[in-house]
Structure 1
Amino acid sequence: MSNAFVARSLDEIRFWSRIMKEHSLFLKLGFRCDDTQLIQEANQFYRVFEEIEAKAQAFTVQTDPETIKRFNIEVHTSITYIWAFKRRVLGLILQCQLPGANNFPLLVDHTSREAYYFRNRLEELNAGRLEPLPDAIIDENVFFLRIMADHAKFIGHLLDPSERSLVEQARNFSHDFDQLLYQAVDLSSMRPQSQTQPLLDQFLDQNRVSVKSLRDFKKTASELIDACRIKSIIHPLLADHVFREAERFLEIIDMFEASLTGKPAI
């Protein structure tokens, strides 16, 4: 246990607890007005993760590691509950028990995958079990490339169809990230032979270029939505939400690049 464990734990919780809180809001907004029980549950999860977020902000890197380990367990329990809630909602949608609701099945599945990722990260931190760098590079990119591909699909479907240029851009990003994801899955299946420094370095460089481009597109879309300059049913917070996740992915790529090559990414 060390300050590094505390810093890493707090970084993960501060980022992902806000994401979980916002997921609760987005799901609530997609329920029908008579889905009162689901709305109440979503509101409760919003409060739970709002409290977790505030608690995480109150801790510092000087906090006793044992305190943070217990906090990680507490957060892990809450994540398990929201993950189960999301999977239950997905089941209701796929069984046609929520006709007329506005939560895409893929969006609900997407949010549950992020909860599962967050839960696993806390388990790894508390166990002191971190993946070797080559495995981490591939696995993190497989996860985040799929997240980015999903985002492009959601944007394309939530923009008004008359926003033809932006819809086309979103579709192109969806296609591009699907291709990057397939390449990442291929690299993964070729392990361990594929885990050479040149291949992994190229892998990170290629993904960085595409993620930066998508990040910039999201930023522009978010600004246009805030200024009411485009037609869509995208909540302004959702636009900012997906932008922050792209920023997070870029930070992870840069961290991997520095660890792989021993020099900061350009």
Structure 2
Amino acid sequence: MSNEFVSRSLDEIRFWSRIMKEHSLFLKLGFRCEDTQLIQEADHFYHTFEQIEGKSHAFTELTDPEQIIRFNMEAHLAATHIWAFKRRVLGLIIQCKLPGGNNFPLLVDHTSREANYFRNRLEELNAGRLEPLPDAIIDENVFFLRIMADHAKFIGHLLDPSERQLVEQARNFSQDFDQLLFQAVDLSGMRPQSQTEPLLDQFLDQNRVSVVSLRDFKKTARDLIDACRIKSIIHPLLADHVFREAERFLYIIDMFEASLTRKQAAN
């Protein structure tokens, strides 16, 4: 279990510290030029998570678990601070104190949800407290389905309006994932009766199909943006960022399906 704790901790930190680093950049790019204090704070968080990301690659699965516990606490503190920063920025935007900025309120809320997810994962790992499989399947899917729905909305709004076909595709993905999210919330509300293996298996299968389609759409959009073949104000790094998060969701679905299969075989 010690090796598993270390490997899972490093996996979470390597993935999410890069995500937090990039959030800092995206928020910075969305501030007005006169928002110098907010820009400096975003820069600070960029360098903080860049250091954490770099440090995570200096560890291996053979690292002393006690050292990883301390590292998780360090990353947790940074995640808590950036979460508070994002919530403060959200308040300023909603109160119309940053008029003319380019950070959507939903985008700032979205990034704060991911920071909160990251710190919660680190808390669970350090406490050795992981959710039972049926609960984890539903809760992780509720979280990531909402993230995917948000991504589709952001893409639709950041594409140039003249890219009508791509805008329509993004809108369709937004509606698809809103519906999947509502289904997941319904399944969650029916717990524990809804947590049968056939239902959870079907739940994962259905979500996988839609996530693969959205992942492929994001990859196409990313490649087109990199080649300057479509009109948008999407930063190339943002296009790759949302693609990697879809890949992460598929990785988690794979792990859940493998766990369900092992459980069924054991029965």
Q: TM-score, normalised by structure 1?
A: 0.98
Equivalent residue number for residue 99 of structure 1: 99
The one-letter code of the counterpart of 1:160 is D
CA distance in 2, matches of 1:255, 1:59: 23
Q: CA deviation at 1:148?
A: 0.1
Q: What is the CA–CA distance in structure 2 between the aligned matches of 1:90 and 1:112, rounded to whole Å?
A: 9
Distance 1:130 1:229 in 2: 45
Alignment of 1:72-221 (within 5 A): 72-221=72-221
- Give the whole-Å Cα distance in 1 for the aligned partners of 2:170 and 2:145: 15
Q: How far apart in 2 are the matches of 1:75 and 1:133?
A: 25
- The one-letter code of the counterpart of 1:80 is T
Deviations 1:195-251 (A, max 9, x none): 000000000000000000000000000000000000000000000000000000000
Q: Structure 1: how far apart are the matches of 2:75 and 2:209?
A: 34
Deviations 1:35-90 (A, max 9, x none): 00000000000000000000001000000000000000011001100000000000
C-alpha distance after superposition, 1:129-163 (max 9, x if no partner): 00000000000000000000000000000000000
The corresponding residue for 2:14 is 14
What displacement does 1:261 show?
1.5
CA RMSD of aligned residues (A): 0.7
Partner of 1:55: 55
| SS state at 2:168 partner | helix
Cα distance in 2 between the residues matched to 1:190 and 1:57: 41
Residues matched between the structures, number: 263
Q: Distance in 2 between matches of 1:227 and 1:73?
A: 41
Query: Residues of 2 paired with 1:116 and 1:176: CA distance?
Result: 25
Q: Secondary structure at the match of 1:61?
A: coil
Q: Provide the C-alpha distance between the structure 2 equivalents of 1:74 and 1:138, rounded to a whole number of angstroms.
A: 29
1: CA distance between counterparts of 2:81 and 2:259?
A: 34
Q: Deviations over 1:91-132 (max 9, x none)?
A: 000000000000000000000000000000000000000000
Residue of structure 1 in register with 2:259 after alignment: 259
Runs in 1 of length 4+ with deviation above 6 angstroms?
A: none
* Structure 1 unmatched ranges of 5 or more: none
Deviation, structure 1 residue 262: 2.2
How many angstroms apart in 2 are the aligned matches of 1:74 and 1:166?
A: 41
Letter in 1 for 2:123: E
Q: Distance in 2 between matches of 1:7 and 1:33?
A: 41
3-state SS in 2 of match to 1:97: coil
CA distance, structure 2, for counterparts of residue 184 and residue 153 of structure 1 = 19
- Please name the residue that 1:248 is paired with: 248
Q: Which runs of 5+ in 2 are unaligned?
A: none
Say whether residues 1:67 and 2:67 are aligned partners: yes
CA distance in 1, matches of 2:252, 2:164: 33
The alignment-based identity, stated in percent, is 87
1:155-187 alpha-carbon deviations (Å, 9 max, x no partner):
000000000000000000000000000000000
